[in-house]
A and B are shown apart, each in its own frame.
Chain A
Amino acid sequence: MEKQMIISVGREYGSRGHIVAKRIAEKLNITLYDKNILKEIAQKNHADYSELEKFDEKPRNKLFSRRIGEFSSSMENEMANIQFEYLRAKAAKGESFVVVGRCADMALAGEKGLVTIFICADMEKRVARLMEDDKLSENEAKMTILRKDKKRKDYHDEYAEYEWGTADAYDLCLNIGDMDIEEAADFIISFANFKLKGIL
């Protein structure tokens, strides 16, 4: 790839956003960053990954955390910040990559090669998918989606100045409910290419 391309993918729970992001990375032959960031950090520090994962993509508990300058007792904050730094360092090195969630759209704001995408899907389709894949009842699937989306929104909105999932905050918001994975991945890659070439 000639120019640096960083595709940040925000996604609703159950929308298949993660699968699409993975397919984009495969098609472009670039790295996909998701939970593997914390896995790498844990490995580097001889730490237990499950200890780090507990605080990943979660909002800070405002009542039970305290901040002193750059130091925070909120482990959710700290895990977010080390991932932001990790991504910024990768971007500064000129690496092209796809990143899922992690409020990367905010963390990497200002990077020349950044394209921010938000993937959503209709509620019925997401519920149906969870019922089939995770063998949940309709009510359980709906509750899981609402809970997970709220957590993602709270986490994102803690760091970003704009709300999670609002159209004007992203370069592209895409409802992929009626698309298959290949179509969605190709569409996003074409869009990213157009954007970086200045056509859009």
Chain B
Amino acid sequence: MLAAQIMAVSIFLVMFVLIVMDKIERQWVTLGCGVLTLILVFGVGLHSMTAITETLNVKGIFTMEFWHISGQGEESGSGINWATIIFIAGMMIMVEGMAKAGFFRWLCMRLAKLVNYKPIPLFIAFMVMSAILSMFIDSITVILFLAAVTVELARLLKFDPVPMILSEVFCANLGGSATMCGDPPNIIIGTSMGYSFFDFLKNTGAIAGISLIVIIFYFYFVYRKELLKNEDEKIDPSTLPNPKEAITDKKYFIMSCIIFGCAVALLITHSMTGLTVAFIGTFIAILTLICFCRHIPELLKKVDYKTLLFFIGLFMVVGGLEQTGILEKIAGFIGDVSGGDVKLMVAIILWISAIASAFVDNIPFAATMIPVVKSLAATTGVHPDILAWTLSMGTDIGGSATPIGASANVVGTSVAAKNGHPIGWGKYCKTAAPATIIVVMISMIFIFVRYC
């Protein structure tokens, strides 16, 4: 067992280092390490075929519970979380369809027109829209379109796009924390621990809502001078874009709106209908492919397979830590340090998750911490929900502090730089790090008051 544990930890550490070094594409890193886990940890170390089948977790896909749950949501076993992968793939296809129809660009332009292209109302409207869209759509897509439109509008309206992009990125991460499908760590937490869309909305959603109000005021006071610098400049109205021009095809646009509406409705009602996120993802993907039947190869080609492979490998490596009991040891350590004090436990998980997620990818961190949280709840008697919401807020929000903490940050800063507005670490952290601390503090106080 000890040899297997050493191998599992070594593979995990090598995986993390290789991801950070970024020499080899991250999906090959996790898949390679995943295969090594199967061979070395389960095969050579544990001599356990059961551990391999449990980690690959393929059998689960062919059960009824994978697609439809009657009654209370169930916790999934260890290993590859296929529900997460299928759901993310389905949403990727839907989002590609929406992008092709011009939905996101239209929405951004429509909103800009609605606030008469005034910098401050635009700034607030884009922050709110970023948060709301990220509740249902991956933050990379949201920021990709919002940042691009922000740069375009900044050029026309002659304001600095950087404050707006940084605020949008922060709000995208915040919005993502509000729901089960907003951010990958939440999907993994939700499917692993059997939570519904509403469970997240009532808990992390409430924290995100309060935080969003505070953060809008924060960014307004921090950036108002920069945004109003060129307020008096005269703008030629004929140069302003017409939102309708963003729509590439009216038929596809209407269909993509309906599909998006269906996805939102299915997600909101899934605790009542019993349909799992795997079912919703599959259904939405099929629906999109039927509606965009002439563009099926194009849509399928645009799916981010690299991310899906990254997830598969990651779950295998974390499965190695889980099967060898390493994560139970970490849980035991946290339990000992906190001495069974729930508040201390919450504080440790929240701040460690937040700090770690600011520097390393929050997806592997969350995937690793879920078994820890489950084990901690089982051994100390603390309700698992409290620790789950804590982990969710820590990983989702911590990532906002630095340019590398979350995918949205990378995309946002990159889009700005590609358009001649580089955002270095200093410029990014100057406003984002204090904002992150504010939201983590709000989360901690909320969890203490409501659950402890």
What is the interface of chain A, defined by CB distance below 8 A to chain B? 41-42, 44-47, 51-52, 54-55, 62-73, 75, 78-79, 81-82
Contact = CB atoms under 8 A, between A and B. Distances in A.
Nearest to B359: A64
Nearest to B159: A46
Nearest to A78: B417
Contact of B420 (A41, A71, A72): A41
A64 B306 CA distance: 22
Given A55-B422, A65-B403, 17 more contacts: A45-B419, A46-B155, A47-B421, A52-B420, A62-B20, A63-B20, A67-B410, A68-B140, A72-B410, A73-B403, A73-B409, A73-B410, A73-B413, A75-B423, A75-B424, A79-B422, A82-B418
A73 B414 CA distance: 6
Interface of B: 20-22, 140, 154-155, 158, 160, 304, 306, 361, 403-404, 407, 409-411, 413-415, 417-425
Contacts of B411: 68, 71
A75 B407 CA distance: 15
Given A64-B425, A72-B414, A45 B420 contact: yes
Contacts of A67: 22, 410
Contacts of A47: 420-421
A47 B22 CA distance: 30
Contacts of B409: 73
B139 to A, nearest CB: 11
Contacts of A70: 414
Nearest to B417: A78
Nearest to A66: B404
A64 B403 CA distance: 9
A42 B154 CA distance: 14
A51 B22 contact: no
A45 B414 contact: no
Contacts of B304: 69
A71 B22 contact: no
A154 to B, nearest CB: 14
Contacts of B21: 62
B413 A75 contact: yes
Nearest to A71: B414
B421 A51 contact: yes
Given A44-B420, A47-B420, A62-B22, A78 B414 contact: yes
A93 B153 CA distance: 28
Contacts of B160: 46
B420 A73 contact: no
A76 to B, nearest CB: 9
A64 B413 CA distance: 14
